[in-house]
A = this chain, B = another copy of it.
Amino acid sequence: MLIGELAARAGTSTRTLRYYEQHGLVEPRRDTNGYRRYDEAELRVVHEIRSLLAVGFGLDDIRPFVACLRAGNAAGHVCPDSVAVLRRKLAEVETYLDQLADVRDRLRGQLAQAIEEREIRCLKIRC
């Protein structure tokens, strides 16, 4: 499979695949003419990368998962390194969730106050 086909089947671009390769996530063989040659397994790898990216992982975080898949595991998240990253990310997400909930509450507070303020002003001018 050449890069264009893999890109199409993975729903991404050739530019992106070359970028992943540059960052050590995908390692195709090379044809004698220099073309990248991918085997079927790489499709799963790319899917794994895409779904982890979509969840907010960085390419560095994803590397263990790819290695895990490539080591023959059924899923990328069963290896110790992946689990470590999962734990860390989960903690990050939970922290961020808390912060975001605070932000939400503050926004609600400001909105409520603004509306209240307006009603007071509304009473003053007897509207």
Interface residues of A (CB under 8 A from B): 55-56, 75, 77-78, 82-83, 86-87, 89-90, 93-94, 96-97, 100-101, 103-104, 106-108, 110-111, 113-115, 117-118
Contacts and interface: CB of A to CB of B under 8 A. Distances in A.
B107 A55 contact: yes
A106 to B, nearest CB: 6
Contacts of A96: 100
* Secondary structure class of chain A's binding surface, majority of residues: helix
Contacts of A90: 104, 107-108, 111
Given A100-B96, A100-B97, A78 B108 contact: no
Q: How many copies altogether?
A: 2
A97 B110 CA distance: 19
Given A55-B103, A56-B103, A78 B118 contact: yes
A116 B87 CA distance: 15
A111 B87 contact: yes
B94 A111 contact: no
Contacts of A115: 83
A90 to B, nearest CB: 4
Contacts of A56: 103
A56 B104 CA distance: 11
A119 to B, nearest CB: 11
